[in-house]
Structure 1
């Protein structure tokens, strides 16, 4: 007999009183009809209770006073709850709509509805109420499951070892079957008929492990009956082949229950065929499963993209879209700060309510990014300006006569005119190398005119601490020697060598705004004499050399010593060749090297017949760091890279030159 709902029966108008009497009489004779009418009466009573409650609510609303207090008599909540039918008291929702569906809607209508669903939907419906579970888990509903499975495109057919609900559970229930973790678990072990997360995968034994195979019969282990799966390790990238203790124990029990060898061989053959079918079916399921995941990933990606575009449109209305697009344009394959923001990267459509919730945090993020971006662009622009000015300075310096002090790079960069040009020129105005060339040609002579006397005076003051009567003219004397206190070797320097010593242009302390600006973009500071001192030992050794060359220490200059170019032997540095194979012998040198032999015994130009032999053993000079350009201080010709090019150039210009070398024989 076809089941009808109360709604269908209400549409049927009674024809005559005799028909009603016949129905009443038949209902008395049929117990099923009695139960049905009793259920309909219950439902009718429930509707009446709802209508009564709605009517009383309307009356209370009409009787509200001006003070907002209810002046009507209210129905006790306890009485209302008592009138609720017993079967609906603990049902979620408005009087249990699914309960009504299972009890009142005809089965043919239910079956027709369920045929449009998928197996996963049927599985979840079966868990909502006992009535729906009874309908869907009955043998008669198998056609519904089959039709629902056919609705899924590309889904492999039902395997032989699973029924329809079990198959749907394996395909659609995305939780770990071992730990029951509620998070999504998309790793399906098809041969084991289960899902497993990465943390639980370590519970499976290696398929070749001794603990796994120790209790198994040898014939069973060597066959192709035991299922295997390849799982990923929890802490490693590579995978491992694992088995299943429960399945192995069940197959072992089946195998040992057989008595004869023929039965066991036939069982193994049958199980191997079944396993091959399971493996082949698993491959099909994995292909379908991965395609489903990819489709879902693509759908979520499209939703996120739509949400992102909607957010950009909202940002355009308040003037922040341009900043967001700048963030997106600088993104990598991993995304960008805007697209990866938690308010943007969501797989749900943007609503007005959702936009109002995320608007403030997005504006704050974009405002912070804009501040940082402008500061970064400012730093990059300043760095480029400093680099261009440095290049122009180096080009000018390479073509300048450096026999007189020349300002260091830090002096140029910290000069007020150039500092203001770099820091105060608007970002839109590009300062090119040509622009800096023109400015240096205009201001460099005045800068040198101010800078050189002041720094020369600093040298004179240092010299006067040891020689009170010293003056600027004494800087050219050979006996005027200075040394650097930073260098470990304490190198000796003559005027104007100290102006090109790197330690004296190293990073100064940030004592002023100008120095702080310079140190931000350059490793070279203004020249300073704070690490320069008078060298008493150097002055004494040079005086010894000058006197050894028959020159007057009070008037002899460095050029005088270069002209004499004495051959010097340090007898203190003699080493026995029999005991020092590599460095043994007598130590000969030219005068600049002798500055490092203070308090040693020196012999000058008094070697007689040995002189030619000593000079013959002097090694050929060479240039260290030959990858750097050299420049002639007389004619300023640059790009003299090799020693031979220097020699050829000096010979052509008839310039006397000397190189420092220590040699021994």
Structure 2
């Protein structure tokens, strides 16, 4: 029956010729036609040769999808007379090996083209295990493919007349990871056990089953490598195809952006294959670019280009800073090298400290076309350096002084940092340092910093990159914790902590004695500086367990005699420390913080000085070290048997730091 034609209104027809009529729509509303269900239900009534011609044009994946739509299609496509149909369809897949005899055509198509887990039907499973003819997700693979040692055929099977070997009965794969195990398929083991259970009493049937199983195992061993090669080529081909689509899409997007005026910015990205634009999600999509698609993403990509331009300008600005700071760094290094670097040079500001000062920033942080590294500007900076160094050192002193005032009120003494109590503890490494040693402490100028302390400004980051360290920062220093210890030691020597300087304490040449109440018969005798360090390192113990006193003249004399004998070892220990620096290198990272003999060898090779030495100023000890004064000497009574020495006392004895005294009064 012929379809009825839709009637067209006269007014509408007339409007198509002369234009719109007032009060009438310019376009007739589109009719919604419902799709009829079951439109292909009669297709199977066609002659078989017609169906064969139609279905043979389909991909095996499409045939299997069609077989899953209705029972009629399933019956037709799964029948034996349709076997050739599957074979012809398979010819459309380039390079696909023939269907193996141990699989049906539909099962082969399902394995090769449908990414479902054969255990739990999870989707997007692309790893095919051809040796077992399955796809498994990670969970199913872990439970269904297990090491060979889990499977052991029952002794009854081995006792039968048929000789079996694992290689003939099991297909296997190698495990990944540290240990390479042979992995078996659990289902294959279960099939063997099921067949044995059913055929164990019928030897001939069991023999036939075993022969067929061996043949299947061998066929899989021969066919699986062919399938692997095909699948690898298929995956690589598809990956190359998608990459080509992405590249075409990238170039289409680049052309669109050029039309919008981004040519200059894109030209700067050409050498980097348009990175980072090329890595954007809108660009990496493996779909050809359409006009409609461009309209959806153009605003986002313009924002990306604006960000790329902003980052480029920042990077160019940072390069300008680096170039200027590098020139100033050389100038500062040359100034510190006049005549040579010394330990006192470490108390000066680094190039990072200097370029962050307002006076230097005003010179460096100027427009990029301004010439900063000319002779006139460099001479001005050279003349400015002494005042900048003095200003920086004054600021550091004021910072440390303010840190002291929080717990030690200023009573009008000239320079509190000269006092014997002016010890500061580092919260990062746990060590204590007096002034001015603390200024050179490396923890206050770390070469790295936590993420939240990382410099964010372009200028600050350029300064860090130039100097390879952070600017001096006192936030890691403390004073209140070490103050009671230093005050106690000074008062023990009969001095006023608010007035006594470190030099005055050193001139006293006094020795202090420490007695541990748990071991009252022994005493440690040391200098006042060593006493501060000893008390600090023992501060985690109960202070009540130690009693301090001034050593007697006899005891002090005995200790000084022992220390004099150990001076050579003390000197050797100091030279082994990784604290020595070259006096002739201009940078802050060459030949620094090494043993003295390594630095001396560097001076010989790099600076052609035949016999470099500390005395001649070729090498110097960096101030950032724990004071290497003589170690405490242990006073032991004559009555104490050597067998009763503690571990620490025995160590002091082996190091020659022990004095034997007739009575406690000697200390």
Sort the TM-score into its range (normalised by shorter chain). 0.5 to 0.7
> 1:501 Cα deviation (Å)?
6.2
Aligned CA distance change for structure 1 residues 516 and 139 (closer, same or farther; 3 Å): closer
Residue 353 of structure 1 deviates from its aligned partner by: 0.9
CA deviation vs aligned residue, 1:256-286 (integer Å, no higher than 9, x gap): 4xx6434433442343123312332233233
Aligned pairs (5 A) from 1:621-660: 622=571, 623=574, 625=577, 627-629=579-581, 648-649=615-616
Match of 1:619 in 2: 567
> Counterparts of 1:134-173 in structure 2 under 5 Å?
136=77, 139-173=80-114
Among 206, 210, 224, the alignment partner of 1:268 is 210
1:337 is displaced (CA, Å) by 5.4
1:205 Cα offset (Å): 6.3
1:180 aligns with 2:118: no
Aligned match of 2:424: 486
Q: Given the two structures, how large is their TM-score scaled by the length of structure 1?
A: 0.59
**1:478-517 matched pairs, under 5 angstroms:** 481=419, 483-484=421-422, 486-487=424-425, 497=436
Alignment of 1:119 onto 2:52: no
Q: Distance in 2 between matches of 1:426 and 1:611?
A: 66
Residues 571 and 602, structure 1, Cα contact 8 Å, conserved in 2: yes
Matches within 5 A, 1:8-157: 45=1, 48-49=2-3, 52-54=4-6, 56=7, 61-62=12-13, 66-68=22-24, 89-91=36-38, 96=39, 108=49, 111-112=52-53, 114-126=55-67, 136=77, 139-157=80-98
| Aligned counterpart, 2:624 | none
- Equivalent residue for 2:258? 316
CA contact (8 A) 2:346 2:440 kept: no
Cα displacement string for residues 644-665 of structure 1 (whole angstroms, at most 9, x for unaligned residues): 9556539xxxxxxxx9767867
Alpha-carbon distance, 1:244 to partner: 0.8
Question: Structure 2 CA distance, aligned partners of 1:180 and 1:255?
Answer: 33
Residue 242 of structure 1 aligns with which residue? 185
Match of 1:304 among 237, 243, 246: 246
Q: Name which of 465, 470, 488 aligns with 1:523.
A: 470
CA contact (8 A) 1:303 1:348 kept: yes
Contact 1:385 1:431 in 2 (8 A): yes
Deviations 1:199-233 (A, max 9, x none): 33345264757799679955589456755454979
Q: After TM superposition, give the deviation of residue 355 of structure 1 in Å.
A: 1.2
Aligned-partner SS, 2:292: helix
Contact 1:170 1:195 in 2 (8 A): yes
- Structure 1 residues 146-177: Cα deviation after superposition (integer angstroms, max 9, x where no partner): 33334444332333344444433433333334
Q: Name the SS for the 1:343 alignment partner.
A: helix
Q: Deviations over 1:308-327 (max 9, x none)?
A: 22222222222447657877
Check the 8 A contact 1:567/1:604 in 2, yes or no: no
Question: Residue 226 and residue 341 in structure 1: after superposition, are their counterparts in 2 closer, same or farther (change >3 A)?
Answer: farther
Number of positions where the alignment pairs a residue of Structure 1 with one of Structure 2 = 548
Distance in structure 2 (CA, Å) of the matches to 1:629 and 1:71: 90
Contact 2:493/2:550 (8 A) holds in 1? no
Q: Unpaired segments of 5 or more residues in structure 2?
A: 16-20, 447-454, 536-547, 585-590, 601-610, 618-627, 634-658, 660-667
Q: CA deviation at 1:349?
A: 1.1
CA distance in structure 2 between the partners assigned to 1:360 and 1:442 by the alignment: 53
Give the Cα separation in 2 of the matches to 1:207 and 1:630.
61
1:526 to 1:383, Cα distance in 2 relative to 1, 3 A: farther
For residue 295 of structure 2, what is the aligned residue in structure 1?
356
Query: Over residues 455-510 of structure 1, what are the superposed CA-to-partner deviations in whole Å (9 max), with x where a residue is unaligned?
Result: 999999999x9786x889xx9xxx974643534898666xxx58956599889xxx
In structure 2, relative to structure 1, the CA distance for the partners of 1:499 and 1:647 (3 Å cut) is: closer
Structure 2 counterpart SS, 1:154: coil
Aligned-pair Cα RMSD in Å: 6.4
Q: Which residue of 2 aligns with 1:277?
A: 219
Q: Taking structure 1 as reference, are residues 213 and 316 closer, same or farther at Cα in structure 2, changes over 3 Å only?
A: farther
Q: Give the TM-score normalised by the residue count of structure 2.
A: 0.59
Structure-2 residue corresponding to 1:199: 139
Match of 1:6 in 2: none
